Amino acid sequence: MMTDAQRIQALLTYTRLNGKKFAERIGLKHPDTVYHIQRGRNGISDRLAERIVTAFPEVAKGWLRSGEGEMLRDAGTGEETATVVRPIRTRTRDIRVERQRVPLYDFEATAGLTPIFTNQNVPIDYLSIPDLPRCDGAVYVRGDSMYPLLKAGDIVMYKQIQDFYNIIWGEMYLISFSYEGEEYITVKFIKKIEGRPDYVLLVSHNPHHAPKEIPVSAIRALAMVKASVRFNTMG
């Protein structure tokens, strides 16, 4: 079972915040409370847990207090239904659009992402979220390579990238690529490989998935992930 310090670290990894920013996000004036827990000096109190689940309603309070179960709430907890929309923090300055209709596609019903990106497929629905960065479309997440940051059934909203060499290293991308004769569609962090400009490293958030090197020439379609949507349907 994870210690309080390990659970706080898991939250920092999930939210992609440092201790100071995390403290600010949950309404603490000073980050000392978070630092003390990280160093094993204090535990996660019920009051602190309440602050965390208020700021991040998808996080399970029971897991925060005891370490039992999963970090993120799931069906069967008896809690109310919640929809969580999370912007993905990037190092680029996003142009916010007050209200836009983002088409939602089912890439499993098509031959990959390319037909979607070239407007050859009809959306199955539309998403309209206020103050969202400009997005070209949205798709459902499959698999667990980005868990717990993303999980199967989440929706990712993306902005297409035309130049595959114009990658912002370390950011999260929706990518379609060819590997050993098979076509793959996945969400990964893309990192630079020093001394190999024609290759990129695909990195999962889930430590059980090993990084994979692929040539840039294998990329068929690419888009930066701008936001994610999660439906927490509780019992």
Q: Give Cα 209 to chain centroid, integer Å.
A: 15
Q: Give the tokens for residue 103.
A: 């088409």
DSSP state of 72: B
Instruction: Categorize the per-residue pLDDT at 83 as very low, low, confident or very high, splitting at 50, 70 and 90.
Output: low
Cβ(213)–Cβ(201) below 8 Å: yes
pLDDT band (50, 70, 90) for residue 14: confident
User: Is 168 in contact with 91 (CB distance < 8 Å)?
Assistant: yes
Give whole-number Cα distances, 94 to 38, 91, 115, 135, in Å. Answer: 32, 9, 26, 10
65, amino acid identity: R
CA 99 from chain centre, in angstroms, equals: 22
Cβ neighbours of residue 102 closer than 8 Å, sequence gap 6 or more: 126, 127, 128, 129, 132, 135, 136, 137, 138, 157
pLDDT digits (tens, 9 = 90+) for 177-230: 988 888 888 999 999 999 999 999 999 999 899 999 999 999 989 999 999 988
Q: What is the mean pLDDT of the chain?
A: 83
CA angle 83, 204, 82 (to 5 degrees): 5
User: How much of the chain, in percent, has pLDDT values that exceed 70?
Assistant: 84
